[in-house]
Amino acid sequence: MVAVLGSFKVLRHPGHCASVPESLPKSIDMKNLAEIQEAIEKLAPEERVELREWFEASDPETMGVIRQRVGRINAGEATLLDGDRVQQEMRELARQIAKE
Q: What string of pLDDT tens digits covers the 100 residues of the chain? A: 333 344 444 444 444 445 555 555 555 566 788 888 889 999 999 999 999 898 888 888 888 888 898 899 899 998 888 888 888 999 999 998 888 8
Q: What angle do CA 72, 51, 35 make, to 5 degrees?
A: 95
The three-class DSSP label of residue 41 is helix
Given a contact cutoff of 8 angstroms between Cβ atoms, the answer to whether 39 and 30 are in contact is yes
Angle value at C-alpha 51, between 2 and 26, nearest 5 degrees:
40
pLDDT for position 46: 94
Strand partners, 19: 10
Contacts of 3 (CB under 8 A, 6+ apart): 9, 10, 12
| The predicted structure's pLDDT at residue 23 | 56
pTM of this structure: 0.40
Distance CA 39, CA 75 (A): 32
Cα(83)–Cα(85) distance, integer angstroms? 5
Amino acid at 31: K
